Amino acid sequence: MSSTIEDKSVFQSYFLAEKTTDEPLIRVMALHALTYCERLFYLEEVEEIRVANANVYAGRRLHEELEKGCKKYTLELASQELGIRGKVDYVRTDAGELIIYEHKKGHSNKGNQAWPSDHIQAIAYGLLVSEHFNRPVKELRIRYHADNKTIIIPFDLAKAKEEVLKAVKRARELRSSVQRPPVNVSEKLCRTCSLAPVCLPEEERFAAEEKEKPLRLFPAEDEKRVVHLLEQGTTIHKDGYQFIISLPDGNKKSIPGSNVASFVLHGNIQISTQAIHFCAANDIGVHWLSYGGHYVGALQKGAGYVQRRHRQYEAFRDPFFKILLVSRLCRAKVENQLKYILRATRSKRSNETQGQEELQANINRIRYEIKSLAKIEESLSKINNVDLIQYDRLIKEMRGHEGRAGKEYFNALSCILNLKEEDFLYFAGRNRRPPKDPFNALLSFGYALLYKDCVAAIQAVGLDPCFGFFHTPRSSAYPLALDLMELFRVILWDMPLVASVNRKQWRKEDFEITSKQVWLNKEGRRKVISLYENRKREKWKHPVLKYSLSYSRTIELEVRLLEKEWTGQAGLFARLRVR
């Protein structure tokens, strides 16, 4: 006769505390991840990156449905001898013998077997239950709901113990390492993995030239909103799982926390401690900008990202590695500038127009700088090391080529803009800190928003924005964020800004103008934010990876591809180009 264990005195809610040891106990679900993919285990258990996708939520809903109407007691067990801990789904008795049940939402393996990861999970629970009740477990049953199959696994105590201890040993070896394991599982397993957008396995296979075009597992767009708050005196506080935005005029707006990607607070905006804690716990960014558009700082969670930052520091200690990244970054920036100029002035260069000779001279000089950068990159391919003296010389040389190309680019912008000298937006060259004309004020504020997004992407990936490879470290800005910005200045801000100027979308009333500087007023900042955020939502096809995604997602993708330079297959960073 079969019965369910429901004796509250035995099957009660409790957790066996871990004794003080040098090694923490391994979660049984971590052994499940380890058997599925060692890289998945490392990302979840060592780097503590956890992402819930549709499959994860479906599994949670299944367990919620199974628990409805049942008298449920949670049994959480731990074994110091085995080095594991976990929560058992369901235990029954049959003629005095224990039977353990596990429920899975998917299909069984070939219709008659348990998947290896489910097998290790089940036998680990069998060992915990057997040790706790000091009674043998008869068998393990795994119910696969997608094909209504129940797989029965006879329980061999000695064999199960040997298998689990072997897995625990491997888990501890991975825990002690700062290096991520390689991608070494089948594409089929990657397609259903919740951490594929972090791991980027298909991109790694593509970089290794195993396939012509990667399957896109990285999300094409972010459905969450970036919320900009400009009304001075606005406050944000938390109410349950939503944010309440209180405006100075007394009006209030509520936003579900699940809909917010980040808050950008411009000037005197207050946010409560409870709201900050909620943001930190749910990976919601908080960024502070001054009223004039200067980036002040961001919410940074506490301890974490240790292994990722160790790898980053180690990679950037190598001068030759940094030189390779700098050469690619400079080429990408200058080539994007040239392509945009060529595309935007096609009709002007084909007709006799005023300033055509100067424009062509700007283009020729940019091409010369690109050729010079290409020669440096070609010379790097013939060596495999540089000393610090060579490094400083090469960096200075590449900065010189990039800087001269940038000057020619901004000189050429005047040929793209349909403006006369008397127009209030007339652009005669780049100036900043502070901007001295309206067009430069627009450039600077848009670049501040881009800088904020680069910082956010770097934080999301878990790298240290203080540690870059191109820009000189200084206290006023993060070097790595400035590095990343070089890839996106033209694409994300210069192009939409010039188009908006040529469409006559700006008024003199959008600016505060003095003899020494110019800045945007509240209405002007609203227009910049709208233009910039709309641009981020546009989709494009990556020129190398060949899949479509929004510009917003592209920023994070580039950071993850940068991390691939030292954690997987290198060669995909800084390959995006203007068409």
Task: Provide the 10 A C-beta neighbour count for residue 241.
Answer: 10
Classify residue 432: in a domain, yes or no.
no
pLDDT of residue 370: 94
- Helices and strands (H and E) in the chain: how many: 19, 21
| CATH classification of the domain holding 249 | 3.100.10.20
pLDDT of residue 60: 46
Identify the CA nearest to 493 among candidates 538, 546, 531.
Answer: 531
Same domain assignment for residues 109 and 258: no
pLDDT of residue 97: 76
Residue 72 belongs to what H/E stretch? none
For residue 418, what are the CA distances in angstroms to 144, 191, 335, 412, 422? 66, 49, 23, 12, 12
Helix (H, G, I), strand (E, B) or coil at 54: helix
| CATH classification of the domain holding 14 | 3.90.320.10
Structure tokens at 163: 């298998």
pLDDT of residue 247: 92
Half-sphere exposure at residue 545, Cβ-oriented, CA atoms within 13 angstroms: 28
Same domain assignment for residues 141 and 176: yes
Say which DSSP state 470 is in.
Answer: S
Single-letter amino acid code for the residue at 503: R
Classify residue 389: in a domain, yes or no.
yes
Query: At which of 137, 153, 185 does a domain end?
Result: 185
Same domain assignment for residues 44 and 87: yes
pLDDT of residue 353: 57
**Which structural domain range is residue 77 located in?**
2-185
β partners of residue 265: 229, 288
Classify residue 559: in a domain, yes or no.
no
Q: Rounded CA gap, 86 and 96, in Å?
A: 23
pLDDT of residue 352: 56
Q: Rounded CA gap, 499 and 407, in Å?
A: 20
Identify the CA nearest to 311 among candidates 556, 52, 42, 558.
Answer: 42
Same domain assignment for residues 100 and 175: yes
Classify residue 336: in a domain, yes or no.
yes
pLDDT of residue 9: 35
Say which DSSP state 105 is in.
Answer: S
Q: Rounded CA gap, 138 and 245, in Å?
A: 58
Determine contact, residues 528/445, Cβ cutoff 8 Å.
yes
Identify the CA nearest to 239 among candidates 252, 249, 254, 250.
Answer: 254
Which ranges of 192-318 would DSSP assign to H, the alpha helix?
Answer: 196-199, 201-207, 273-281, 306-316
Same domain assignment for residues 163 and 15: yes
Q: Rounded CA gap, 234 and 223, in Å?
A: 25
Q: Rounded CA gap, 541 and 175, in Å?
A: 38
Identify the CA nearest to 500 among candidates 419, 402, 572.
Answer: 419
Q: Cite the beta strand spans of 145-251 per DSSP E.
A: 149-154, 225-229, 235-239, 242-246
| Residue carrying the six token digits 């795994």 | 142
Q: Rounded CA gap, 401 and 421, in Å?
A: 30
Give, rounded to a whole angstrom, the gap between the first and last alpha carbons of the chain. 72
Same domain assignment for residues 49 and 127: yes
Q: Which residues of 157-180 are buried (b: 16+ CB within 10 A; e: fewer)?
A: eeebbebbeebbebbeebbeeeeb
pLDDT of residue 4: 46
Residues of the chain with pLDDT under 50: 1-20, 53-54, 56-60, 62-64, 66-73
Task: Look at strands 270-271 and 235-239 and give their pairing.
Answer: parallel
Q: Cite the beta strand spans of 133-224 per DSSP E.
A: 137-144, 149-154
Structure tokens at 561: 């591809």
Longest dimension (CA), the chain: 97
Rg over CA atoms, the chain:
29
Identify the CA nearest to 88 among candidates 193, 150, 15, 18.
Answer: 15
Which ranges of 114-156 would DSSP assign to H, the alpha helix?
Answer: 116-133
Same domain assignment for residues 142 and 249: no
Same domain assignment for residues 10 and 107: yes
Same domain assignment for residues 44 and 179: yes
pLDDT of residue 11: 38
What's the structural domain count of the chain?
Answer: 3
Same domain assignment for residues 252 and 326: no
Same domain assignment for residues 265 and 325: no
Classify residue 279: in a domain, yes or no.
yes
Classify residue 152: in a domain, yes or no.
yes
Helix (H, G, I), strand (E, B) or coil at 204: helix
Classify residue 579: in a domain, yes or no.
no
Determine contact, residues 293/520, Cβ cutoff 8 Å.
yes
pLDDT in tens, 107-165: 888 888 889 999 999 999 999 988 888 888 888 888 888 888 888 988 889 999 999 99
Residues whose CB is less than 8 angstroms from the CB of residue 258 and which lie 6 or more positions away in sequence, other chains included: 224, 241
Query: At which of 393, 416, 439 does a domain end?
Result: 416
pLDDT of residue 22: 63
Judge residue 325's burial from the number of C-beta atoms within 10 Å of its C-beta, 0-12 exposed, 13-18 middle, 19 or more buried: buried
Query: At which of 163, 185, 207 does a domain end?
Result: 185
- The string of DSSP letters for 409-453 reads HHHHHHHHS---TTSTT---S---SS--SHHHHHHHHHHHHHHHH
| Residue carrying the six token digits 């009333």 | 509
Classify residue 448: in a domain, yes or no.
no
Same domain assignment for residues 110 and 234: no
